[in-house]
Amino acid sequence: MSLVYALVGAGIVACALFMILSRNLVRMLLGFSMLATGANLLLFLAGGPVTDQPPIIAEDASTLAASADPVVQALILTAIVIGFALTVVIGVLVLRAWKARKTIDAREINDAEALGQPRRNDPADG
Amino acid sequence: MLEWLLISLVGACCVPLLARVIARGAGFLIALLPLGLFVVLISTAPVIERGWVRSAGFPWAPSLGLDFTLRLDGFSFLFCLLVTAIGALVTIYADGYLASKSPAERSRFHTLILLFMTAMLGTVLAENMLVMLMFWEATSVLSFLLIGFEGRSGRARRAALMALQVTAFGGLMLLTAVMLIGNEIGTYSMAEAVRQADRLVGSPSGNAIVACILLAAFTKSAQFPFHFWLPNAMQAPTPASAYLHSATMVKLGIYLLARFEPVFAATSWGRNTVITVACLTMLVSALQALRAENFKSALAYSTIASLGILVLLVGLDGPAASVAMVGFLLAHALYKAALFFCAGSVIHATGLHSLRAMGGLARFLPLTALACLGASLSMAGIPPFIGFISKEFLFEAQLESSWELVPLAIAVVVNAVMVGVAGVITLRPFFMGRGKVTQVRNHETLALAAPPLLLAAAGLVISLEPGWITRSALRPAVAAVYGSPVKVDIAVWHGITPMLMLSGVVIATGALIVRFWRPIHERLRAVDRLDRLAIERFWGMGLRGLITGSRRLTRRLQHGDLRRYLLTVIAAMVLLLLWSAFAGGVRPRFPVPDTIEIAPTLIAFVALAGAIMAAVGRSLIASMVATGLTGISVAITFLLNGAPDLALTQFAVEALLVVLLTALLLAVPLSSPVTRGSGMRRFDFAVAFAFAAVLALGVIDMAASRHPSAVSDLYGRLSYVAAHGRNVVNVILVDFRAFDTLGETTVIAVAAVLARALLPHAHWAQDTAPPPATHFSFRMVGKPLFWLLLASSLVILWRGHNDPGGGFVGGLMAALAVAILSLAYGTARAERAMRVDPMMLVGLGMLLALCSGVPALLLGRPYLTQLWWEPASWLPAVGTALVFDLGVYLVVLGAVVTFLLGLQKEAAR
């Protein structure tokens, strides 16, 4: 099963990267969100043999029996929330860009480039 | 000695403030600081006289080999005497020279001069090479500040920058040399480095060490081809030129060479290089001195020639060379500082710079003319001045050394030119050309006349009464340089010797140069090839090339296309990964094939199909839905593989993303025009595919090598026993790794602050937008759904410690409840239902999470150690972990609601 998940996870990452390379900012944003999903799936795979036992200690036991790796799950849980926050912050930026510039094409957001080169007449130029 | 440096440093910062209070004559008071140090130095003369060495120091950073150690031997002593004595005269002189400046500027100048004096003392006293380097760099920086003192003048700024570039390059070379030496012998002690000179030179970095030391010395002492910064440095106020650029700082290169003579002499090429460079410097500067039009630049080029002679003497072997070097060092410092003072007085009085415009000034500046005459006679080497004695030593050293006659011939020519320059700069401005200048702007004052007179007189007194200075300064200095005591006999008359005859030749040639200066000068000035081939031009061209080149490179790298930036990053990652895998000889392993179950495989393929759909879909809506499909399928995959917590969180996130992104998509155009051509798309696909392929190989390899994780095992055993929780994932988050979680919670809080700052928000709960037109059924169920979700979020928060759930997912659920409210009844209604600003919730949550660690701190346990209290067996245990989780819950809730309402309101604007 891990082979299937590895291929699917890598496939999701490939699609996500393809979207990130787009110049449409919304498409990029969706790509980032999907990249997080794919990465989480691959991280989950790193946690050990695939099992359907959740890492929860049974009522009558005091230690954890054989189950999925809890450390990886703790990592992924925060990663999901952080990835979500990242996606939303990008979303906020895209919305601001649209409101301010009326474009969601990355090429047209070039205010920094329009400022040109640093000033030319510095003393070191002689 | 430590206290000398301390007094000097503190004094440099405080004493010059006097110049702000006292209008006239503050220089005399300020000069008491260098003068006091001078007197203290004189009082240690008996120690030096016996050939003893005084040491002092304290460990500073012993682990780095950096001890603040100082050492006062004869050579350092001579330097210290010169630095303090001339320092005192410079302070006095500057008071007269800068009389027309504002008190603030005078005070600034005095501060810089005294700080420079401190740096000089530190450099020549330092025993640890790192300490020396520190002071050495300080002299470069102060030189920069003094050259650029007239910061409004573009030429001064350019000259200051040029001097800094050259000398700072030398400083870097010195740093390299010191590091290599320390690496080789394991200590930064200069004495130890010199003692182990043979070992240093024999080491693999031996040649590099010597080359770096030579470069450092040549740049500091303005040797060819680095000499060009010194004439430009004449932009500095004249007292600074006298002090830094003739008498003291430029001699630091000589000091360094003299100290490390055993090191460079141990290589086969060291002495040859030093002597060749010295000869070239002498020739080039003698030529330029004859071409110079300005008083100060004539002096500057003759200073470079003198530095060349000093470097030549360091390079020559034999005791006579050491005697000559020390003698000439002293003589030159005395007469050249005096001449600079005279030049300054002339410029101050007339405002003229060109030698040809001046004449007959002896009438207006009689004392200056007298001082200039005395100093020039010393420079020309006329008996009985000290310059004559040092010249005798110079020729004696050359005759005695094992060298051929070429350097001797060059020295004779250069000395003749120096006689000529001395004659020209005395006779032309002061005594010849009567009537060229009919009035002066400023007359000489005590402050302007006394320093050059004193120096010129010292040149005469020392040669006639050489007893004390020979005993206490010259002889110990020679002994320190040569390594063993040498007989030093200073007398004006030695009988008819070859040296005397050479002196005669020199003086005769010099007299001819004075006589025919004008035609020689004009003929040489006509040769403009000399200007075209000047090193300075190449330096300027190199600098311009560097700036243009970096500008081009910047334009190439900073092209402003986001897609190409990302492509570069991704492609670089692929290449680095592949390279490291190949370099390490790693071959991917494959896991043992296990059973493939139909249902989970199908769900995984749905996730992949969603991803592909999102990537190729034309419409943004379709892409968003497909992205959600991938997310939900991955969530189901988590659920099927024993990760209910992850599944819950992912479901909540996907639901919220739909709400949030819909708000965004309502604002922006949905049909996206094509932004990439088909070629670009193919290329992007290839890069993305390559990255994914490398990633897949890595993950498959990782899956094939299963090893039990010790930390997971530990958490599994301790979770219930130590942390009272059955849900290990949640226990890890709130207890074992609570500090990590705190950091992640902070990230979310910061994201909320960012969103709030970016989205202009109306005043809280004062939105008057009408409610959206939603379907009747949604309006009916909206409120019950809100309460249901809110209640279940609290349940999820509470039960999280023992069952799937917790603060993160609870917060997301609660935010979902608010989202439903705002979708059904509008943002205004949702805001009212919240009662408080969501940012308040974020703050409160952060506060709770941060404070939950404090009780442990009070009990003396590490921060964020969670404490538990079990009131009775039938009551649930309570602990600080619950407070922590509540904090996380509130932060997530507040942050998501901030995002949600902010986006929805901004989109609707």
Interface contact flag, A95 B638, Cβ < 8 Å? no
A35 has a chain B CB within 8 A of its CB = no
User: Does B877 share its domain with B780?
Assistant: yes
Interface contact flag, A37 B631, Cβ < 8 Å? yes
DSSP state letter for B878: E
DSSP string, B591-622: PPP----HHHHHHHHHHHHHHHHHHH-SBHHH
Cβ within 8 Å of B, A 7-26: 7-24, 26
Integer Cα distance of B661 and A34 in angstroms:
14
Report whether pLDDT(A126) > 60: no
At B27, is the pLDDT very low, low, confident or very high (cuts 50, 70, 90)? confident
Integer Cα distance of B188 and B127 in angstroms:
8
H/E run at residue B532: helix B529-532
User: Residue B178: inside a domain, yes or no?
Assistant: no
Tell me how close the Cα of B248 comes to any Cα of chain A, in angstroms. Answer: 27
CB-CB neighbors (< 8 A) of B711 in chain A: 71
Q: Give residue A120's pLDDT.
A: 54
User: Does B494 share its domain with B539?
Assistant: no
CB-CB neighbors (< 8 A) of A54 in chain B: 642-645, 804
User: Mutating which of A25, A72, A88 best tests the B interface, going by the most B Cβ atoms within 10 A?
Assistant: A88
CB-CB neighbors (< 8 A) of B756 in chain A: none
Q: Which residue has the tokens 């957001």?
A: A109
User: Residue B70: inside a domain, yes or no?
Assistant: no
- For B593, the token pair is 């094939």
Lowest mean pLDDT among A40-44, B186-190, B261-265, B553-557: B553-557
Integer Cα distance of B771 and B758 in angstroms:
24
SS3 of B847-859: HHHHHCCHHHHHC
Integer Cα distance of B548 and B556 in angstroms:
12
Q: Give residue B702's pLDDT.
A: 83
Interface contact flag, B751 A14, Cβ < 8 Å? no
Q: Give residue A125's pLDDT.
A: 45
Q: Give residue B468's pLDDT.
A: 84
Q: Give residue B763's pLDDT.
A: 55
- 3-state SS, residue A110: coil
Interface contact flag, B719 A106, Cβ < 8 Å? no
Q: Give residue B62's pLDDT.
A: 86
User: Does B514 share its domain with B544?
Assistant: no
Whether the CB-CB separation of A50 and B646 falls below 8 Å is answered with no
pLDDT digits (tens, 9 = 90+) for B894-906: 999 999 988 888 8
pLDDT digits (tens, 9 = 90+) for B811-861: 999 999 999 999 898 888 888 888 889 999 999 999 999 999 999 999 988
Report whether pLDDT(B765) > 70: no
Half-sphere exposure of B651 (CA within 13 A, CB side): 14
User: Does B433 share its domain with B541?
Assistant: no
B543 has a chain A CB within 8 A of its CB = yes
- For B304, the token pair is 């470079």
Lowest mean pLDDT among B209-213, B431-435, B694-698: B431-435
Domain count, chain B: 3
CB-CB neighbors (< 8 A) of B701 in chain A: none
Quickly count helices (H) and strands (E) in chain B: 43, 4
In terms of pLDDT, which residue wins out, B132 or B429? B132
- Domain segments of chain A as ranges: 1-50+69-103
Integer Cα distance of B187 and B278 in angstroms:
31
Integer Cα distance of B159 and B421 in angstroms:
24
Integer Cα distance of A37 and A43 in angstroms:
10
pLDDT digits (tens, 9 = 90+) for B572-594: 999 999 999 889 888 878 877 77
Report whether pLDDT(B644) > 80: yes
In this structure, CATH architecture of domain A1-50+69-103: Orthogonal Bundle (1.10)
pLDDT digits (tens, 9 = 90+) for B312-352: 999 888 888 898 999 999 999 999 999 999 999 999 988 88
Integer Cα distance of B222 and B220 in angstroms:
6
pLDDT digits (tens, 9 = 90+) for B33-65: 999 999 999 999 888 888 888 888 899 888 888
Task: Report helix angle A70-101 to B880-908, nearest 10.
Answer: 20
Rounded to two decimals, the ipTM of the complex is 0.93
User: Does B429 share its domain with B321?
Assistant: yes
User: Does B287 share its domain with B400?
Assistant: yes
pLDDT digits (tens, 9 = 90+) for B770-806: 777 888 888 899 999 999 999 999 999 998 888 999 9
User: Does B327 share its domain with B463?
Assistant: yes
Helical ranges in B186-205 per DSSP H: 190-195, 197-202
Q: Give residue B438's pLDDT.
A: 78
User: Does B522 share its domain with B540?
Assistant: no
Q: Which residue has the tokens 């010295």?
A: B278
Report whether pLDDT(B230) > 70: yes
Interface contact flag, A85 B716, Cβ < 8 Å? no
Average per-residue pLDDT for chain B = 89
User: Residue B116: inside a domain, yes or no?
Assistant: no
3-state helix, strand, coil in chain A (%, to 5): 65, 0, 35
User: Residue B359: inside a domain, yes or no?
Assistant: yes
- For B45, the token pair is 């003369």
Interface contact flag, B644 A3, Cβ < 8 Å? no
Tell me how close the Cα of A107 comes to any Cα of chain B, in angstroms. Answer: 6
Report whether pLDDT(B403) > 70: no
Integer Cα distance of B685 and B679 in angstroms:
10
Give the nearest partner residue to B716 out of A44, A59, A64, using CB atoms.
Answer: A64
User: Residue B448: inside a domain, yes or no?
Assistant: yes
Q: Which residue has the tokens 């346990």?
A: B861
CB-CB neighbors (< 8 A) of B561 in chain A: 106-107
Give me the total of CB pairs closer than 8 Å, taking one residue from chain A and one from chain B: 328
User: Does B472 share its domain with B456?
Assistant: yes
DSSP state letter for B876: P
CB-CB neighbors (< 8 A) of A121 in chain B: none
Interface contact flag, A2 B591, Cβ < 8 Å? yes
Residue range(s) defining the domain that contains residue B542: 531-556
A39 has a chain B CB within 8 A of its CB = no
Interface contact flag, B719 A57, Cβ < 8 Å? yes
CB-CB neighbors (< 8 A) of B849 in chain A: none
User: Does B818 share its domain with B869?
Assistant: yes
Beta-sheet pairing, B54-61 with B66-72: antiparallel
User: Does B817 share its domain with B886?
Assistant: yes
User: Does B893 share its domain with B746?
Assistant: yes
Q: Which residue has the tokens 């400023």?
A: B442
Integer Cα distance of A84 and B747 in angstroms:
11
pLDDT digits (tens, 9 = 90+) for B441-451: 888 888 899 99
Percent of chain B scoring above 70 in pLDDT = 98
